Amino acid sequence: MSKAATKVDAAIIREGWKTLVKKMGIVKATRFLVAFERGEGDSVKEIKRFWRGKSLDEIYRMVKWARIAP
């Protein structure tokens, strides 16, 4: 992987983390990431399978609801 690609990946990861924390809070964002770190296999496939058939608006509403719900 080129240095430019590595920098882009790092920037995307930072942006994603900031977004998760902003929307979910530090605790839930950390739990979310740890849930994927624990698993075996391809986490991208797991994420795609989990959210399959849902629009971005639906995903946003679900995450927002989870953030508000006790």
Query: What would the mean pLDDT of 41-62 be, rounded to a whole number?
Result: 80
- Percentage of the chain beyond pLDDT 90 is 9
Place of tokens 């624990």: 38
Quickly list DSSP for 2-57.
-HHHHHHHHHHHHHHHHHHHHHH-HHHHHHHHHHHHHS-S-HHHHHHHHHTT--HH
The answer on pLDDT for 50 being more than 70 is yes
Which of 67 and 20 is assigned the larger pLDDT?
A: 20
Q: Which amino acid is at 39?
A: G
Contact 47, 36 (CB under 8 A): yes
User: In the predicted model, is pLDDT for residue 1 greater than 70?
Assistant: no
Position with higher pLDDT, 5 vs 24: 24
pTM above 0.85, yes or no: no
